């Protein structure tokens, strides 16, 4: 595959989608603003004050529009800040939120030792520091994620199913995919998306609170009093607008994530120079009964950060909210000759893994993802401060 062209295409589409995300937020601010102004104009209190109703646009006030818009924007920004602040610990906090366990430097489990070796190899191939490694012991599906604000606090977490069902080349493909998210800044983008979506949700949460207060006020006053009705109307409007904003925000988040997944797949091929590794992992996800499902209660919030689709939506909404492209499309991009058959994974033998890792330890150069040629290319590129020219290596071979 032409992974450089694939990377450029994914980056270009991502930029347009981020612009669309900003426009969606601005639209929410404007619509919420207009609703509040309409509510203020036509509420019961307004008529009690003796005003004569006229058309809305005759009474439109730009100053009031500005201040209401500023207030709505402040609510969204405050919610985003609070949620992002809760993740200020970086990748470690996200991994622990998902119930993952830190893998020690010298684990007794051969599968975990192999994982640490692969992570170190991919760190060399991608030219980044070695991140902390976590395992989600309770997750039987094949999946993984990278999290953090940058290379300094990055972590990579994999499921137990990933360790037990993938061979070494396939594990390399998955880990290389996650390193791409680190290199390309996707982790920071993911955390920002989590924060922004929570900020949009704040509008709906305020609406729900007002709706509850209005209902309480209506029941606590006399039957002839409509004192709680304005709060109910205002709360219901904000609730609807907030959830509509979350709906479209999730749609755009899913579109952004799909493009970043194509970019990460292409980068994984660049780092490993072995398309069959990541292709094999994707084929096994398609053939496994557990697939890539993440069962943790907070799985949805991190859905855009996984290696593969981690949750299933109700009512056939997978196509709309899917944060990852279909497996078939991803496989065909890295393996155009695929015959359409998925692979049913078999459990990996820890003893077999241990023998393989011992052999690779005796021959360390063979254990590098791209072999000696890629190691030389990486070292040369580090001296020049540039990206390894994999295309020239292919021609040299």
49-72 tens-digit pLDDT: 555 555 656 666 777 778 888 888
pLDDT, one tens digit per residue, over 283-339 is 999 999 999 999 999 898 888 889 999 887 655 556 677 888 999 999 999 999 999
Residue 188 confidence (pLDDT) above 50: yes
| d(C-alpha 188, C-alpha 167), whole Å | 30
Supply the pLDDT for residue 171: 96
Task: Phi first, then psi: give them for residue 135, nearest 5 degrees.
Answer: -125, 135
**pLDDT score for 219:** 66
Residue of 35, 34, 67, 60 whose CA lies nearest to 230: 35
319 Cβ partners below 8 Å, 6+ apart? none
Q: In what order do the strands lie in the sheet with 155-159?
A: 101-102, 132-136, 155-159, 144-147
Q: How far is CA 258 from CA 27, 143, 281, 351, in A?
A: 23, 16, 18, 37
Tell me the percentage of the chain whose pLDDT exceeds 70: 76
pLDDT at 239 over 70: yes
CA distance 93 to 89: 5
Position 156 scores a pLDDT of 97
Joined tokens for residue 204: 């709906």
The pLDDT of residue 6 is: 54
Residue 130 CA to residue 108 CA, distance in Å, equals 20
More confident residue, 180 or 394: 180
Does domain 92-188+260-363 fall under CATH 3.30.2010.10? My reply is yes
pTM listed for this prediction: 0.71
Cα distance between residue 1 and residue 10, in whole Å: 14
Q: With contact defined as beta carbons under 8 Å apart, do 91 and 131 qualify? A: yes
The rounded distance, in Å, linking the Cα atoms of 127 and 388 is 9
Q: Where are the domains of the chain?
A: 3-90+189-247, 92-188+260-363, 364-397
Question: Of all residues in the chain, what percent carry a pLDDT higher than 90?
Answer: 32
Mean pLDDT of 165-170: 94
What local confidence, expressed as pLDDT, does residue 124 receive?
Answer: 94
pLDDT, position 395: 42
* 212: its two tokens: 């509850």
Mean pLDDT throughout 253-262?
81
Q: Does residue 96 have an active-site annotation?
A: no
pLDDT at 206 over 50: yes
Whether 10 has a pLDDT exceeding 60, the answer reads no
pLDDT for res 160: 96
Beta bridge partners of 133: 156
The values of phi and psi at residue 155, to 5°, are -135, 155
- The Cα–Cα gap between 73 and 278 comes to 42
Q: Which residues pair with 156 in a beta bridge?
A: 133, 146
pLDDT digits (tens, 9 = 90+) for 94-118: 999 999 999 988 898 999 999 999 9
Give the pLDDT band of residue 394 (cuts 50, 70, 90): very low
User: pLDDT at position 31, please?
Assistant: 82
Q: Where is mean pLDDT largest: 14-23, 77-86, 329-338, 361-370? A: 329-338
Query: Is a pLDDT exceeding 50 seen at residue 391?
Result: no
Between 320 and 349, name the one with better pLDDT: 349
Catalytic pick among 121, 178, 261, 309: 178
pLDDT-wise least confident of 5-14, 57-66, 231-240, 329-338: 5-14
The helix (run of H) or strand (run of E) holding residue 144 is strand 144-147
Please give the residue that has the higher pLDDT: either 92 or 88: 92
Statement: residue 371 has pLDDT above 60: no
Within a 10 A sphere around the Cβ of 77, how many other Cβ atoms?
Answer: 15
In this structure, the strands spanning 132-136 and 101-102 are: antiparallel
Mean pLDDT of the chain: 79
Which tokens in the block code for residue 379? 């070292």
131-167 pLDDT, tens digit each: 999 999 999 999 999 998 888 889 999 999 999 999 9
pLDDT of residue 173 exceeding 60:
yes
How many other C-beta atoms can be found within 10 angstroms of the C-beta atom of residue 196? 23
The DSSP-derived string for 175-237 is: HHHHHHHHHTTHHHHHHHHHHHHHHHHHHHHHHHHHHHHHHHHHHHS-TT--TTHHHHHHHHH
Which stretches of 98-183 are DSSP H helices? 110-126, 160-165, 168-183
**What's the confidence (pLDDT) of residue 54?**
58
> What whole-number distance in Å separates Cα of residue 40 and Cα of residue 68?
11
Query: Is residue 247 helix, strand or coil?
Result: helix
User: In the chain, where does DSSP find H-type helix?
Assistant: 3-42, 44-48, 62-86, 91-97, 110-126, 160-165, 168-183, 186-220, 229-272, 275-287, 318-321, 327-334, 350-362, 371-384, 390-396
What's the pLDDT band for 203 if we cut at 50, 70, 90? Answer: confident
Cα 55 to Cα 38, 42, 365: the distances in Å are 10, 10, 78
């Amino acid at each position: 595959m032409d992974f450089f062209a694939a990377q450029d295409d994914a980056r270009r589409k991502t930029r347009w989608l981020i612009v669309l995300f900003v426009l969606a937020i601005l639209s929410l601010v404007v619509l919420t603003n207009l609703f509040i102004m309409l509510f203020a104009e036509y509420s019961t209190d307004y008529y009690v004050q003796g005003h004569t109703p006229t058309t809305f646009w005759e009474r439109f006030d730009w100053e009031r529009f500005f201040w209401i818009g500023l207030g709505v924007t402040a609510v969204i920004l405050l919610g985003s800040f609070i949620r992002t602040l809760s993740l200020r610990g970086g990748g470690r906090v996200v991994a622990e939120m998902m119930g993952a366990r830190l893998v020690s430097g010298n684990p007794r489990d051969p599968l975990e030792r192999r994982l640490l070796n692969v992570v170190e190899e991919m760190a060399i191939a991608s030219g980044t520091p070695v991140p902390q490694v976590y395992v989600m012991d309770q997750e039987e599906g094949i999946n993984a994620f990278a999290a953090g604000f940058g290379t300094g606090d990055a972590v990579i977490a994999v499921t137990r199913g990933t360790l037990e069902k993938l061979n070494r080349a396939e594990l390399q493909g998955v880990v290389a995919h996650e390193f791409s998210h680190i290199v390309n800044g996707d982790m920071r983008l993911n955390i920002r998306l989590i924060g922004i979506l929570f900020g949009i949700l704040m509008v709906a949460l305020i609406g729900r609170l007002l709706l509850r207060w209005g209902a309480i006020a209506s029941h606590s006053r006399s039957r002839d009093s409509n004192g709680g009705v304005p709060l109910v109307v205002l709360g219901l409007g904000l609730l609807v607008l907030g959830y509509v904003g979350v709906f479209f925000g999730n749609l755009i988040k899913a579109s952004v994530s799909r493009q970043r997944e194509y970019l990460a797949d292409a980068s994984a091929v660049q780092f490993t120079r072995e398309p069959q590794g990541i292709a094999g992992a994707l084929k096994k996800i398609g053939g496994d009964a557990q697939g890539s499902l993440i069962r943790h209660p907070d799985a949805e919030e991190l859905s855009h950060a996984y290696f593969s689709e981690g949750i299933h939506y109700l009512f056939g909404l997978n196509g709309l909210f899917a944060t990852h492209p279909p497996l078939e499309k991803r496989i065909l991009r890295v393996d155009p000759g695929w015959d359409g058959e998925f692979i049913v994974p078999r459990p990996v033998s820890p003893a077999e893994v241990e023998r393989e890792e011992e052999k690779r330890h005796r021959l360390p150069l063979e254990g590098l993802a791209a072999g000696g040629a890629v190691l030389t290319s990486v070292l040369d590129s580090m001296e020049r401060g540039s990206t390894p020219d994999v295309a020239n290596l292919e021609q040299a071979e």
